[in-house]
Amino acid sequence: MGGLYRGASYSQCVALDPSRTVAELKELRELTADENGAQRVAWTETWEQARAWLREKVAPTGATHEIDEAGNQWFTLPGASERALLIGGHMDSVPNGGWLDGCLDVLAGVEVLRRVAEEGTPPLTVRLVDWADEEGARFGRSLFGSSAASGSMADQDEIRRRTDANGVRWPDALAEHGVDLDRALGAGRRLEGAAAYLELHIEQGPVLESLDLPLGVVLGTFGVERHLVTWHGQAAHSGSTPMEQRRDALAGAAKLALEIRQIAAEVGDGAVCTSGGVVCKPGIVTSVVETAEQLLDQRHLDAAKLARLLELAREASERFAREERIEVEWEPLWRIDPIPFDETLIALADEAIREVAGASHRLPSGPLHDAAEVARAGIPTVMLFVQSLRGLSHTKVEDTKEEHVEFSVQALDRLTTKALEAFA
């Protein structure tokens, strides 16, 4: 049966049924949502209920079930090789969440597992992973399970101190669900021997809808530079200070807030810059602004271009400080490098999407995903995005056309076949 993977006609011989995925997503919604939306918050009873339901769904494929040291749920179909192709998603949701975020990825993966199992022994072992606590909704830290597996989790002391809104300590909640924080990094063993990682997700943004395309390939996740830019001028009376004698801190912030549009356009290739807030002191109508604290967020998929965004903004700020006879200082708040996905898999994903939907589009991801953690661990990774209606997610009105959900299952299936060939 292994020869089927080298043929182009598997779809005629086995039953991939994408409409079953739509039906199962609705079944899950019945089981774990209320009138306000999905309630599958990680480390709760409803989440455990969703995971038990998932286990029942996968059981007929013969895939074995395990929970790792970080609470991630793994389903394994042994292949001719122990090297594994991983397909991932997350069953947890935010409170009052939608019917697709995270669980579409997992349930599409279940449908692919069924098809692969029906065909016989695949050339690589195929593993479906339901990452624990992608959303971080209860304790305010995202990507728990995948960051433990990738080894990037380095904030165990902080995790130990975190509590939920009711004062429950995070380690206690973990223990209730069989996870010992001190052993969580042991989940990394599950990534040993991983050949590639695939993840399907709703876009959660407006790009594919604006292009009228159902599906796109994700190039990677944005790098981010976040700074506090503080401008220092001189407080002076609004009535008695002539215009040309003012040293107005807000003037510097205002100029920079507009200049970042030019900077983003100049650097291009999807660059985005946001001045997300300015706090003025003394902040009264009768005084020129003495201090303006400005928040700046800059993002790019390319590390050199991200650095260029920052450099241009700094240069502009110094120019504006001279023009306004004020001072400016920069303080880093947070940064992360861009995480590019795998070139080979991006090309295969493009092919898979074109076969299913006729046209593809390449786009970066603004939000981080479990896939970013897997890519950081050095495993070739790619994501597929399916169009989100109105770009909305993390709300019960999150939606995708059912036809597009079905396309996405087909695209993940085609990509799986291509990846099994390419990485075998």
Cα–Cα distance for residue pair 88/25, rounded to 1 Å = 16
Which DSSP string corresponds to 231-290? EE----BTTTS-GGG---HHHHHHHHHHHHHHHHHHH-TT-EEEEEEEEEES--TTB--S
Residues numbered 63-92 forming contacts with Zn ion, rule: CB under 5 A: none
How near is the Cβ of 51 to Zn ion at its closest, in Å? Answer: 16
CA atoms within 13 A on the CB side of 306: 18
Contact between 400 and 100 under an 8 Å Cβ cutoff? The reply is yes
Q: Tell me the pairing of strands 272-281 and 327-336.
A: unpaired
121 vs 395, beta carbon nearer Zn ion:
395
Q: In 3-state terms, what secondary structure has residue 199?
A: strand
How near is the Cβ of 90 to Zn ion at its closest, in Å? Answer: 6
Candidates 74-82, 97-105, 114-122, 313-321; binding stretch for Zn ion (CB under 5 A): 97-105
122 vs 205, beta carbon nearer Zn ion:
205
How near is the Cβ of 200 to Zn ion at its closest, in Å? Answer: 10
Q: Does 101 bind Zn ion (CB under 5 A)?
A: yes
How near is the Cβ of 210 to Zn ion at its closest, in Å? Answer: 21
96 vs 287, beta carbon nearer Zn ion:
96
For the chain, state the CA radius of gyration: 24
98 vs 171, beta carbon nearer Zn ion:
98
How near is the Cβ of 201 to Zn ion at its closest, in Å? Answer: 6
The token pair that represents 338 in the structure block: 């861009």
How near is the Cβ of 94 to Zn ion at its closest, in Å? Answer: 9
Query: How many amino acids of this chain bind Zn ion (CB under 5 A)?
Result: 2
Candidates 52-60, 94-102, 160-168, 342-350; binding stretch for Zn ion (CB under 5 A): 94-102
294 vs 387, beta carbon nearer Zn ion:
387
Candidates 101-109, 112-120, 219-227, 337-345; binding stretch for Zn ion (CB under 5 A): 101-109
How near is the Cβ of 136 to Zn ion at its closest, in Å? Answer: 11
101 vs 259, beta carbon nearer Zn ion:
101
Neighbours of 392 (CB within 10 A): 16
How near is the Cβ of 104 to Zn ion at its closest, in Å? Answer: 9
51 vs 247, beta carbon nearer Zn ion:
51
Candidates 66-74, 93-101, 108-116, 183-191; binding stretch for Zn ion (CB under 5 A): 93-101
Among 102, 122, 216, 252, binds Zn ion (CB under 5 A): 102
How near is the Cβ of 350 to Zn ion at its closest, in Å? Answer: 22
Cα–Cα distance for residue pair 376/366, rounded to 1 Å = 16
For residue 282, whether the previous peptide bond is cis, meaning omega lies within 30 degrees of 0, is yes
φ and ψ of 342, to 5 deg: -80, 130
Contact between 275 and 250 under an 8 Å Cβ cutoff? The reply is no
Q: In 3-state terms, what secondary structure has residue 67?
A: strand
Cα–Cα distance for residue pair 181/172, rounded to 1 Å = 10
Candidates 77-85, 99-107, 223-231, 356-364; binding stretch for Zn ion (CB under 5 A): 99-107
Q: Which residue, judged by CB position, is nearest to Zn ion in the bound state?
A: 102
How near is the Cβ of 133 to Zn ion at its closest, in Å? Answer: 11
Candidates 76-84, 98-106, 136-144, 342-350; binding stretch for Zn ion (CB under 5 A): 98-106
Q: Which residues fall within 8 angstroms of residue 149, CB to CB, at 6 or more apart?
A: 68, 70, 72, 131, 187, 188, 190, 191, 373, 374, 377
Residue of 191, 169, 157 whose CA lies nearest to 370: 191
102 vs 340, beta carbon nearer Zn ion:
102
147 vs 230, beta carbon nearer Zn ion:
147
222 vs 423, beta carbon nearer Zn ion:
222
The helix or strand, by DSSP H or E, that contains position 296, with its residue range, turns out to be: strand 291-300
The site for Zn ion (CB under 5 A) is made up of: 101-102
